[in-house]
Amino acid sequence: MKHVIQIALWELKQKFARRSYLYITLLTPLILIFLIRFTTGGVSDRGTSPATIGIYNTSENFLKGFRNLSTNFGTYDNVQPDLIPINLGTLSAVDNYSEIDSILAKGIVDYVLLKNENEFQLFSKLFRRPSLISKIEMFASLSLSQSQHGVQLKPQNIFFETVDVNTGTNYSTVDFLKNTITIYLLPIIFVFVVVFAGNSFIRGFAQERQGRILEILLSSCSRNELFYGKIAGLLLATLVHLFIWWIVAKLFLESDFSFLTHTPLLGSLFFILGFLLYTALFIGLSGIITTENEAQHISSNLSLFLIIPLIFTTHVIASPNSILSSVLTYIPFTSPPVMLIKIQTESYTNNELIISAVILVISCLLLIKLAVRYFNNGLENLPNQ
Amino acid sequence: MILNVINLCKSFGTRKALCDFSSEIRPGIVTGLLGPNGAGKTTLIRIILGIIKPDSGSVEFSGKSSVYKGLLGYVPEENALYGKSKVLDNLLYYASLKNLDKADAKKEAKNLLEMLGAYEYSDKYVETLSKGNKQKVQIAASLIHNPEIIIWDEPFSGLDPIAREVVIDLMRDRAKSGKIFIVSTHQLDSAEKFCDSFLLLNQGKLLLEANLAEAKSEFTGNTLEIETNAPVTYITSLPGVQGAVRENSKLIVSFNNQFDKKEFISKINTQYDIFTLSHHTATIKDIFFKMVGQL
């Protein structure tokens, strides 16, 4: 254990000695602030056009109230309401979601509000505007209250923060572009960190192997100590990265990242588990790499592999509760970025969270075991001069 | 305490790197590890160091079936230091892996670097040092924890003649203090200066394990030193001649028991001239060439 700690601390020190590490540690928060603050600075909170909302199963009074509220509160370009309600009549069956999907897919309306007794379900496709959602909730709540005093609105399947109907809106103002960036940012940072750490590890390890540093290390400690020391060092270096970025985000961007306040531990759990899973893969493969060229080749292929789960995140944002999204939360290689999105958008169920975390922990342990074996076998064939 | 290497075998695929290798390596002397490329020297070193595992056989030290890694000091052939770190940091890191206390490590690092004439580089980054100075740092790293078994692979690489002498003195001192000292080298002339005994390997097998002085006297009787204008190919074609190697203007000729000196001289004299002829005192180089058969 002592050797593992010594190797880990040395790896961390080595990382600090590299310019690329310092650049990434310091430049990333600056880019982050730039992306959030400056690129979205000129974008209106109201989006680029009025949104339409189709409403099912409500009374004429409710619709009238909703229309009045949307006309009186917030207009788009001072001409028309930024939320235009359309009466869709009665849904053929309460759970006829395919009809709702079809309406949204065709672009007939941007949102669908379905009333079922005293509960509402709000549906929309990709890139909801949270400020608008909070407005919908508020309007729906008020419209309903006008006719049914004392009834509380219980929205379901609303993917962003919901409004407390007792106190009115408390939704933080996040515009469309900013919202998109913030949701995507965490999975992107995850992939970026894994790729950076994995690549720098594989290349560094190939250098150690070629330069015979590895022989000195292995004449002082066991292969397992070396493996765990390396992985711990990599994790430490990444945690330092994240800690610095977290402080920056907390100081300057807290209002943009609700998970920083609400679910930082959950986010960190999936981030770290995912990081361990992927870096175990990188370290395991590093055992068989003998030259820097090979290292470059393998690490670029692994980096491409990492983009695949990132592609799926688009679907998860659009349909967080779809079967595919649920399946992706259970696949170890896709679950970290997918869960990072679900945690941010609060669109996970407790079961999903627990099962996904358990699968990820087990996969991590299995993969680390496999990687140790691969790593050990690879070290049997050190270069000879 | 003797380092016992017992029936080691190691193959890489179909290639046998070591084949039933056994030896008893004693403390208090410097043991040379000699052999041509691919002889199995590095494989043997790596097995002793516990870097790779043998297919069969074992390495025993101090009554145990493996060597405790804290007792080992190793200088590999290549520069094995972290270039982006300072000299002292490298030494302290390697010392920490050998379980040496930081204060003791600092003290010993200072002593060794001073002895090797590299103390002034303590705070320099390794990547800024010359090859010779890097080698001095590596040597210091291998000795910092006062190991019982010291293995150096080509330790003179990049060293100037003065540093070379310092390193040889250091080697002898450590060996005299009861350490097991193994030095692998292709520099046979240098090996002559520091080896007390040697192991000669070829194709994974131990060809010869001998005390240097004894081996030299044994091999001296069968070698002549001759200055002639006859080509090497002609000399080696003569009866009884095992081989010949050119050393400056002279040829070192080794021969077997069927060799007839008078016949040898007369045959050369029929076509060529002999300028000088004397008995040659065998060197490690002669023994090497004779045993490995590369004359």
Where would I find the H helices in chain B? 41-49, 87-97, 102-116, 131-143, 161-176, 188-194, 212-220, 232-236, 261-271, 284-292
ipTM entry: 0.77
pLDDT top residue among A378 and A240:
A240
Whether the per-residue pLDDT at B30 is higher than 60: the answer is yes
Mean pLDDT of B162-183: 88
Whether the per-residue pLDDT at A152 is higher than 50: the answer is no
Which of B12, B85, B98 minimises the CB distance to A381?
Answer: B12
Which residue type sits at B167?
V
| pLDDT attached to residue A148 | 59
B61 close contact with A: CB closer than 8 A? no
Euclidean distance between CA atoms A281 and A289, whole angstroms: 13
Residue in A15, A16, A215, A376 to test binding to B, most B beta-carbons within 10 Å: A215
Q: What percent of chain B shows pLDDT beyond 90?
A: 8
Q: What is the CA radius of gyration of chain A?
A: 25
Q: What percent of chain B shows pLDDT beyond 70?
A: 98
For A377, name the nearest residue in chain B, comparing CA atoms only: B52
Q: What is the pTM of this model?
A: 0.67
Distance of CA B218 to the CA centre of its chain: 20
**DSSP, res A172:** -
Mean pLDDT of B7-32: 85
Euclidean distance between CA atoms B264 and B236, whole angstroms: 11
Euclidean distance between CA atoms A377 and A364, whole angstroms: 20
Count of beta carbons in the 10 Å neighbourhood of residue A144: 23
pLDDT, one tens digit per residue, over A20-49 is: 778 877 787 777 777 666 655 444 444 456
B185 close contact with A: CB closer than 8 A? no
Per mean pLDDT, which range of A123-127, A354-358, B55-59, B175-179 is the poorest?
Answer: A123-127
B72 close contact with A: CB closer than 8 A? yes
Euclidean distance between CA atoms B281 and B212, whole angstroms: 12
Q: B80 vs A6: CB contact, 8 Å cut-off? A: no
B11 close contact with A: CB closer than 8 A? no
Average pLDDT, chain B: 85
| pLDDT attached to residue A70 | 79
| pLDDT attached to residue A128 | 52
Between the ranges A133-137, A348-352, B159-163, where is the mean pLDDT highest?
A: B159-163
- Tokens at B224, concatenated: 């002549």
Whether the per-residue pLDDT at B50 is higher than 80: the answer is yes
| pLDDT attached to residue B100 | 87
pLDDT top residue among A92 and A36:
A92
Euclidean distance between CA atoms A58 and A51, whole angstroms: 19
Instruction: Determine the straight-line distance between the first and last CA of chain B, rounded to whole angstroms.
Output: 38
pLDDT band at B90 (very low <50, low <70, confident <90, very high): very high
Whether the per-residue pLDDT at A164 is higher than 50: the answer is no
b (16+ CB within 10 A) / e for A58-72: beeebeebbbebbee
Q: What does each C-alpha distance from A281 to A113, A312, A368, B22 come to in angstroms?
A: 45, 21, 8, 39
pLDDT band at B88 (very low <50, low <70, confident <90, very high): very high
Contact by Cβ (8 Å): B51, A215 = yes
Residue owning tokens 């996969």: A363
pLDDT band at A158 (very low <50, low <70, confident <90, very high): very low
pLDDT band at B29 (very low <50, low <70, confident <90, very high): confident
pLDDT top residue among B204 and A182:
B204
Sheet holding B180-184, edge to edge: B72-75, B149-153, B180-184, B30-34, B197-202, B205-211
Task: Count residue pairs from A and B with Cβ separation < 8 A.
Answer: 68
Chain B residues whose CB is inside 8 A of the A384 CB are 42
Phi, psi of B63 (to 5 degrees): 75, 10
| pLDDT attached to residue A39 | 56
Per mean pLDDT, which range of B8-12, B210-214, B264-268 is the poorest?
Answer: B210-214
A238: left (phi over 0), alpha (psi -120 to 50) or beta: alpha
Contact by Cβ (8 Å): A201, A11 = no
Query: Bridge partners of A320?
Result: none
| pLDDT attached to residue A159 | 33
Q: A6 vs B96: CB contact, 8 Å cut-off? A: yes
Cβ neighbours for A303, distance < 8 A, ≥ 6 positions apart: A195, A198, A199
Euclidean distance between CA atoms A202 and A197, whole angstroms: 9
Q: Is B173 exposed, middle or buried (0-12, 13-18, 19+ CB in 10 A)?
A: exposed
Count of beta carbons in the 10 Å neighbourhood of residue B236: 16
For B76, name the nearest residue in chain A, comparing CA atoms only: A212
Q: What percent of chain A shows pLDDT beyond 90?
A: 1
Count of beta carbons in the 10 Å neighbourhood of residue A56: 23
B51 close contact with A: CB closer than 8 A? yes
- Tokens at A290, concatenated: 């003998």
Residue in A216, A218, A290 to test binding to B, most B beta-carbons within 10 Å: A216
Whether the per-residue pLDDT at A5 is higher than 70: the answer is yes
Q: A385 vs B98: CB contact, 8 Å cut-off? A: no
Whether the per-residue pLDDT at B233 is higher than 80: the answer is yes
Q: Is A249 exposed, middle or buried (0-12, 13-18, 19+ CB in 10 A)?
A: buried
Residue in A7, A212, A219 to test binding to B, most B beta-carbons within 10 Å: A219
Q: For residue B242, what is the enclosing H or E element? A: strand B241-247
Interface of B with A in 90-149 (CB under 8 A): 93-94, 96-99, 141
Euclidean distance between CA atoms A91 and A101, whole angstroms: 12
Cβ neighbours for A223, distance < 8 A, ≥ 6 positions apart: A372, A375, A376, A379
Whether the per-residue pLDDT at B295 is higher than 60: the answer is no
Q: B77 vs A212: CB contact, 8 Å cut-off? A: yes
For A4, name the nearest residue in chain B, comparing CA atoms only: B97
- Tokens at A167, concatenated: 């106190």
Contact by Cβ (8 Å): B284, B200 = no
pLDDT top residue among A365 and A162:
A365
Euclidean distance between CA atoms A142 and A356, whole angstroms: 38
pLDDT band at B125 (very low <50, low <70, confident <90, very high): very high
Residue in B44, B55, B67, B93 to test binding to A, most A beta-carbons within 10 Å: B93
Q: B69 vs A17: CB contact, 8 Å cut-off? A: no
| pLDDT attached to residue B137 | 92
Whether the per-residue pLDDT at A77 is higher than 60: the answer is no
pLDDT, one tens digit per residue, over A218-259 is: 888 888 888 888 888 888 888 888 788 778 777 776 655 655
For A208, name the nearest residue in chain B, comparing CA atoms only: B80
Distance of CA A38 to the CA centre of its chain: 22
Between the ranges A311-325, B59-73, B267-281, where is the mean pLDDT highest?
A: B267-281
B50 close contact with A: CB closer than 8 A? yes
Mean pLDDT of B234-263: 83
pLDDT band at A150 (very low <50, low <70, confident <90, very high): very low
Chain A residues whose CB is inside 8 A of the B46 CB are 215, 382
**DSSP, res A38:** I
Whether the per-residue pLDDT at A173 is higher than 50: the answer is no
Mean pLDDT of A88-103: 74
